Amino acid sequence: MSNAATFFIRTNLRAAISVSIILLVAILFTGFLSSAYKRERQARAQQHFNHGQALTRSGDLNGAVDEYRKALVFSPDDKNYRLALATALLSLGRLDEAQSHLEELLEDEPTDGLINLMLARVAEKRKRSKDVVEFYQRAVYGYWPQDKMAARHRARWELVGLLEKEGRSTELIGELLQLYANAGDDPNEKARIGFLLLKYGATSDAVNVFRELARNSPKYVEAHHGLGQSYLQSGDFLAARREFQRAMHLDPNDRENVQSLAFANAAINIDPFMPRLSSSDRYRRSCALLNRVLSHLEACSEGKVLPDPLKQRVEAAQKLLSGKPQPEIDDANLQLQDTAQALWNDQDRFCGGRSIEDKPLDAVLTRIGHE
């Protein structure tokens, strides 16, 4: 080996060894320093976060936002800090910034229930109804680290509130049925679901809800009241009266029950379809219904000129009433009821809104319409 080559190898070997030692020392030193640095950052972040929490509790949300921001500067990866900041920003109405932080969190955890729920609230405040429902649904089916069922349940209730506000009854009924399916043993919650179902026209579902509730909690007044209302809405006035009476028995001072019972009785008294009525009674009741409708129409059209088709229909009704009574013929009975129902609808259109003073008549005619 030449001297030059030996020198080269020797120098390089020496350099390699020196560099290896320096590298090892540098790695150890940097490792020590960087772990101390990370600890310090975390400690500072935690300090700001705790301060922010304290300010949030004391109601100083602006101060809390500043502290959460500082916490994030030291620990930008911390989900809790970012979430706390987004929550505070949302409370302050700073939607842009809150949304930005939440979207960043969502990027890391797209199935997180809480993040989706908060984004739904942001979207709700921004009136982005399409996004709201999507985020709420993601929240409902998303991941919740603690108390999964309760959190999902709460999120679904928020969604129901939104759908109710927007009047989206079909989706609302679907969500309510889901809520009922996952409802626990709380009768108040079940009653709330039942009344909402009733309010948005899912009468048969409401009947089922209240029937089960009344069976499981027979001494729960709301169950009987709700069931009574459901029966009333479905046209089963006798069953409604029975349930209102049960409710009255449990709580005689409930004014709403007294009114509902009176309503049911009033409907029973004019309903031509009540069981055990003779043909002549049934005919008489049908005539009374038509008369009542005509008098309502007359009252609301006072001083107005009736349009020709309506005028003709009124004349036909009056002719029907003044004709020879034919209680034994079912067709005549049906004709009276149909005319009453048709005129009731005309009165609704002509007078602009149904007469609220005559709810029993409305209930009976609606039932006749369904029949």
Partner 1 sequence: MNDRFAHWNGRLPHWPARLGISETQRFLLLALLIGIFAGLLVVLFHISIDFVSWTTLGALSGRFRFARLLSPAVGALGALFLVKKIFPKAQGSGVNQTKAAIYTSNGYVPSSTIVGKFLACALAIGTGNSLGPEDPSLQMGAGVASRLGRLFQLSRQNMRLIAPVGAAAGIAAAFNTPITGVLFVMEEVLADWSATTVGSILLAAVSAVVTMRLFLGNEPLFRIPAFELTHASELLVYWGIGVVGGVLSASFIVLIERSKRRLEHLPPWTVYILPAAGGFLTGFVGLWFPEVMGAGYDAINSALHGQFTWQVLIYLALAKLLVTLLCFSAGTPGGMFAPALFIGGMLGGGFGGLAHRWWPYPAASAEAYMLVGMGTFFAGVFRAPITSIFMVFEVSASYVIILPVMIANTTAYLLSRRLHETPFFKMLAEIEGVNLPSAEEKRNFQPLRVEDAMQPIASPMAVEPGMRLFPDEPVDAALRLLAVRPRIQVVSRLTSEVLGTLTLDDVHRAYGILEAEKMAK
Residue 110 DSSP one-character state: T
CA-to-CA dists, residue 74 to 64, 68, 94, 99, 330, angstroms: 16, 10, 22, 21, 85
DSSP string, 201-244: T-HHHHHHHHHHHHHH-TT-HHHHHHHHHHHHHHT-HHHHHHHH
In 3D space, the residue among 20, 370, 219, 202 whose CA is nearest the CA of residue 194 turns out to be: 202
Q: Which range of residues in 102-110, 149-157, 257-265, 271-279 is near partner 1 by CB under 8 A? A: 102-110
The nearer residue to partner 1, 15 or 149, going by C-beta atoms, is 15
User: What is the distance between the alpha carbons of residues 153 and 178, in angstroms, rounded to a whole number?
Assistant: 9
Residue (of 165, 237, 164) closest to 201 by Cα position: 164
Nearer to partner 1, 74 or 237 (CB): 74
The answer to the question of residue 33 lying near partner 1 (CB under 8 A) is yes
Least distance between partner 1 and beta carbon 206 (Å): 43
Instruction: Enter the tokens of residue 76.
Output: 């930008």
In the list 26, 54, 262, 299, the residue contacting partner 1 (rule: CB under 8 A) is 26
Q: Does 43 bind partner 1 (CB under 8 A)?
A: no
The reply on whether position 188 binds partner 1 by CB under 8 A is no
CB of 30 to partner 1, least distance (A): 5
Q: How far is the CB of 19 from partner 1 (least distance, A)?
A: 7
The span of 4-12, 130-138, 218-226, 288-296 binding partner 1 (CB under 8 A) equals 4-12
Q: Which two tokens stand for residue 86?
A: 């987004």
| Closest CA relative to residue 117, chosen from 81, 77, 162, 72 | 162
* Interaction residues for partner 1, span 61-100 (CB under 8 A): 69, 73, 76-77, 96-97, 99-100
* Contacting residues toward partner 1, per CB under 8 A: 1, 5-6, 8-16, 18-19, 23, 26-27, 30-31, 33-34, 37-38, 40-41, 44, 69, 73, 76-77, 96-97, 99-101, 103-104, 107
